[in-house]
Amino acid sequence: MTPLTRTLLLCCLVLAGCGASTPPYPPLVEQRLAIHAASTPCCEDPERFDYRPLPAAGVMDWLIGPDSPTFDFQSGISPFAAFRLPEAEGPFRIRVEGLFDVAGEDTSVFYPILAMLDDAFVVTRVSYLDNLRLEQGLLEAEGQPGLAVVAPFDPRRTRERYMVIFTPGVLVNSPPPFDRPGDQVTLPSLDWLERNSGAAVLASPYGRLRLTIAPIELPGAG
């Protein structure tokens, strides 16, 4: 058992006794996967996504469920959430956390992968499963445990305008064709799965997200 697996297992045992709210999708991952398998992609191009605006600072909760749009990413078919980055003059960061769901003895999570796009809807960078970190959130008021990734942004140096959150198709039984051109996510995800095969948290095509947007204070500012 890896250190990550032991930490996740401990966190899930604590969460199981905390009475998390019931999300509006089936409680069992098998049921969610069956619904996901019957879904069809919303469109053929990220330019047609419905990008929701993000605030310059604050916290936003978001639900990815059966009613969410689905897209055939290079890494496979996945539900997703799409956002327009805030109009900021200085650097900022966005933390995206996939919150744990508990159903009986099972704990599941939507493993968030981030893709950043420029103003021509070209992908500039992506995150990976290895970038996820455990957020225990058990000692904070309203804190909830989950897996989080943090992405920094600097509008003075890049033309990134959008952020898309999805999950690797290989985690939710919808992998891409073998060796699909442009797929930067599947092989690192398979490697992560091999190294964390005993992880206690099941991968779900649906889940609750929490986004935290905050400016980055530069040295000497103010």
Cβ-contact 80, 72 below 8 angstroms? no
pLDDT digits (tens, 9 = 90+) for 185-214: 999 999 999 988 766 699 999 999 999 999
- With contact defined as beta carbons under 8 Å apart, do 214 and 59 qualify? no
Tens of pLDDT, residues 2-32: 444 444 544 544 444 444 567 889 999 999 9
3-state secondary structure of 78: strand
The string of pLDDT tens digits covering residues 144-194 is: 899 999 999 999 888 999 999 999 999 999 999 988 999 999 999 999 999
Domain boundaries, the chain: 3-215
Cα distances (angstroms) measured from residue 217 to each of 144, 151, 213: 26, 15, 13
